[in-house]
């Protein structure tokens, strides 16, 4: 069976063909009555929206977020297994109970409304028991439920609020009563059943669990995004029906049908577009890149930030925005704005050079506001690669968005971007960078590796794998454990043990004079004397450091340069179980491509690094 989608009035959804709504065992409990501090619950959101629409447009169609189900027939009865829509359907059940418990029972007008919980017996029994309790008893609902014979084994837990579902079911009825207590129940019930529709999506049963995992991975309450989508789909297709007394009944019917068809067509079109954006933002590579787990990623959040009239990503504010002009026109304009913004995000992500420069910048962000400033800069300058490169480079030396874009706003005691670059240069020019300025070294070595990727494909660039940033290490090209120097005390005097000089390796371990002599005797180039470096240089300078993936430095260990090189360029490494991911780091690879590596090469590498840095940041010292 292929996936099929249709709009259903709630009356048809609940009663048509007498379906049994099944809550499968992989679903969580009922949570729509959970309230966050200072915020309405998802149930209250829904109710307030329905009441608002009922008050303003009682004869207009209203559309809820859809449900995703799989259908099966057991003993001749259709079972509707709720993959996504359990919270919504259970809420409708409780609302209809409050309006009249007869809505849940079989009558002349309809079949019964039945929910089945696969593994929650108390939930199943409580919802069934509600059918026999008039909503007029709501003030003492818990007492009535606890006195029920069917719930006797659960009565103590219900009394003490120890059963989660029971607690939130009862809390839901309180919230419903608080909002609907003064409403005309009969009229509101008719509006709910005959004017409110939802999108009914049927998928193959073999895809049910996978679909649930995708749609509900981290969803505990109704997302603001879902509310916004439902409101916009309703607004985009709402149009004042124009009928005149001069029209024949046939023409009036045709007008109603045509406008209804047009509305459904528009909703379907925009819903498909929205779902396409949703799918894109829920791709793992996109979520990892933008560091977001929100269903719509940064799209709505960024849109809200750019709209001066929107303070936050909040459904109420979007709703006010929708009602600020002609409803349908305003919704279509917002959709257009979102479409353009989504296109910009996709352009940033799919263009290798922009992808690389943006990610380097995002790695330096100082918080949400700064991240949004970075994104705004890249979206505004996406056709100016040189500007994006320059911006990313300056972010890597600690320059803020304001320091880069608005240097004229800086106060006398605030550092300029140029001053920050010079400070970084001073730190990375020192003889000891390793263990002292690791963070600065990581960023600059990352930049050099990224630039090698940007030169690929005739300068069009290639997407760099930034997963290294969560698993990175600094590696000494010439191993630090193979460099030695005389051990000094706190007064900088040589240390003697039994009348002989004590030495230390670059990794801090001690080595006796006799052991050192023996090592050098066995192989003259096995150890390197730090005294050979000029101007108190050392193996810990930037010239002897490369960026590697975290797990790869342990494979190098204390190996000699020649052994490291052999491992780096071993064509059979994967076959031999040596998955050496750092082989993809082009700048790091170039160092190991040298035929030899010693004091001369380390000093040359350091000098080259400093010259490139000065050129990049236009430093003339």
Predicted local distance difference test score (pLDDT) of residue 320: 67
**Which DSSP string corresponds to 482-541?**
GEEEE-B-TTSPBPEETTEEEEEETTS-EEEHHHHHHHHHH-TTSSEEGGGSGGG--TTS
Tokens of 490: 């706190």
Predicted local distance difference test score (pLDDT) of residue 221: 36
Cβ–Cβ contacts within 10 Å for residue 153, how many? 11
8-state DSSP, 416 = P
Q: What is the largest CA-CA distance in the chain?
A: 119
Within 8 A by CB and 6+ apart from 565, the residues are 592, 593
Please list, residue by residue across 534-552, b when 16 or more beta carbons sit within 10 angstroms of its beta carbon and e when fewer do. eeebbbbbbbbbbbbbeeb
Q: What is the dihedral of CA 374, 376, 379, 380, to 10 degrees?
A: -120
Rounded-to-integer distance, Cα 415 and Cα 422, Å? 11
Picking from 396, 386, 42, the residue whose alpha carbon sits closest to that of residue 226 is 42
Tokens of 399: 């320059």
- Give me the average pLDDT of each 10-residue run along the chain (621 residues): 72 94 83 87 92 89 82 91 90 95 85 85 90 91 89 86 87 95 95 90 66 48 62 64 45 47 64 86 93 87 75 64 60 87 96 98 94 96 97 97 95 93 96 96 97 96 95 92 90 89 90 86 80 91 94 76 83 62 88 90 95 94 64
Tokens of 208: 């049910």
Please list, residue by residue across 179-192, b when 16 or more beta carbons sit within 10 angstroms of its beta carbon and e when fewer do. bbeebeeeebbebb
Predicted local distance difference test score (pLDDT) of residue 334: 85
Phi, psi of 328 (to 5 degrees): -65, -45
pLDDT tens for residues 131-175?
A: 999 999 999 899 989 988 888 888 888 888 878 888 999 999 999
Predicted local distance difference test score (pLDDT) of residue 93: 96
What long-range pairs does 326-332 form, CB within 8 A, spacing at least 24?
327/235, 327/238, 328/235, 328/236, 328/237, 328/238, 328/239, 330/235, 331/232, 331/235, 331/236, 332/236
CA separation, residue 160 to residues 142, 146, 154, 167, 601 (Å)? 10, 11, 10, 9, 75
CB 344 within 8 A of CB 379: yes
**All structural domains of the chain with their residue ranges:** 4-219, 472-477+530-617
Picking from 39, 61, 40, 41, the residue whose alpha carbon sits closest to that of residue 50 is 61
Picking from 450, 602, 471, 466, the residue whose alpha carbon sits closest to that of residue 548 is 471
Rounded-to-integer distance, Cα 170 and Cα 139, Å? 10
Start-to-end Cα distance in the chain: 72
Rounded-to-integer distance, Cα 532 and Cα 598, Å? 10
The size of the chain, in residues, is 621
Rounded-to-integer distance, Cα 177 and Cα 171, Å? 10
């Amino acid at each position: 069976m292929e996936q099929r989608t249709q709009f259903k009035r709630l009356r048809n959804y609940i009663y048509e063909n007498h379906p049994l709504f099944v809550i499968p065992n992989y679903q969580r409990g009922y949570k729509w009555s959970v309230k966050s501090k200072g915020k309405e619950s998802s149930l209250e959101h829904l109710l307030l929206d329905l009441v608002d629409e009922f008050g303003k447009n009682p004869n207009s169609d209203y559309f809820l977020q859809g449900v995703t189900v799989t259908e099966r027939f057991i003993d001749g009865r259709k079972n509707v297994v709720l993959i996504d829509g359990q919270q919504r359907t259970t809420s409708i059940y409780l609302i209809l109970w409050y309006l009249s418990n007869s809505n849940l029972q079989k009558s002349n007008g309809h079949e019964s409304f039945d929910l089945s919980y696969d593994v929650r017996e108390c939930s199943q029994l409580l919802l069934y028991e509600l059918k026999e309790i008039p909503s007029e008893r709501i003030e003492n609902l818990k007492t009535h439920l606890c006195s029920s014979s069917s719930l006797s084994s659960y009565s103590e837990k219900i009394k003490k609020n120890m059963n989660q579902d029971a607690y939130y079911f009862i809390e839901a009825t309180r919230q419903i009563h608080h909002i609907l207590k003064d409403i005309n129940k009969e009229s509101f019930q008719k509006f709910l059943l005959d004017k409110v529709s939802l999108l009914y999506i049927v998928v193959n049963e073999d895809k049910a669990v996978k679909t649930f995992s995708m749609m509900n991975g981290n969803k505990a309450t109704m997302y603001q995004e879902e509310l916004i989508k439902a409101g916009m789909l309703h607004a985009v297709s709402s149009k004042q029906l124009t009928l005149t007394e001069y029209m024949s009944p046939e023409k009036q019917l045709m007008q109603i049908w045509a406008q209804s068809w047009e509305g459904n067509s528009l909703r379907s079109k925009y819903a498909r577009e929205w779902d396409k954006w949703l799918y894109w933002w829920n791709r793992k590579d996109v979520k990892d890149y933008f560091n977001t787990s929100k269903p719509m990623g940064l799209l709505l959040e960024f849109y809200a930030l750019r709209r001066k009239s929107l303070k936050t990503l909040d459904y109420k504010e979007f709703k006010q925005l929708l009602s600020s002009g002609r409803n349908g026109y305003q919704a279509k304009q917002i959709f257009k704005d979102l479409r353009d913004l989504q296109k910009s995000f996709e352009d940033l992500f799919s263009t290798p050079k922009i992808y690389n420069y943006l990610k380097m910048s995002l790695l330096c962000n100082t918080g949400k506001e700064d991240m949004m400033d970075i994104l705004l800069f890249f979206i505004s300058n996406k056709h100016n690669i040189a500007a994006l490169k320059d911006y990313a480079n300056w972010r890597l030396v600690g320059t803020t968005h304001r320091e880069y874009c608005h240097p004229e706003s800086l106060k006398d005691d605030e550092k300029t971007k140029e001053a920050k670059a010079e400070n970084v240069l001073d730190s990375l020019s020192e003889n000891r960078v390793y263990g002292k300025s690791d963070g600065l070294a990581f960023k600059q070595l990352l930049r050099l590796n990224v630039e090698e990727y940007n030169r690929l494909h005739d300068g069009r660039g290639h997407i760099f794998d930034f997963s290294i940033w969560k698993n990175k290490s600094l590696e000494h090209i010439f191993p630090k454990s193979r460099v030695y120097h005389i051990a000094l005390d706190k007064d900088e005097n040589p240390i003697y043990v039994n009348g002989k000089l004590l030495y230390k390796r670059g990794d801090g371990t001690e080595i006796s004079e006799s052991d050192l002599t023996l090592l050098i005797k066995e192989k003259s180039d096995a150890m390197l004397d730090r005294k050979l470096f000029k101007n108190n240089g050392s193996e810990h300078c930037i010239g002897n450091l490369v960026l590697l993936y975290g797990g790869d430095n342990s494979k190098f260990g204390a190996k000699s340069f020649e052994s490291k090189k052999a491992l780096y360029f071993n064509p059979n490494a994967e076959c031999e179980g040596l998955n050496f991911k750092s082989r993809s780091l082009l700048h790091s690879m170039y160092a190991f491509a040298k035929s030899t590596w010693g004091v001369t090469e380390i000093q040359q590498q350091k000098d080259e690094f400093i010259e490139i840095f000065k050129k990049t940041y236009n430093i003339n010292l």
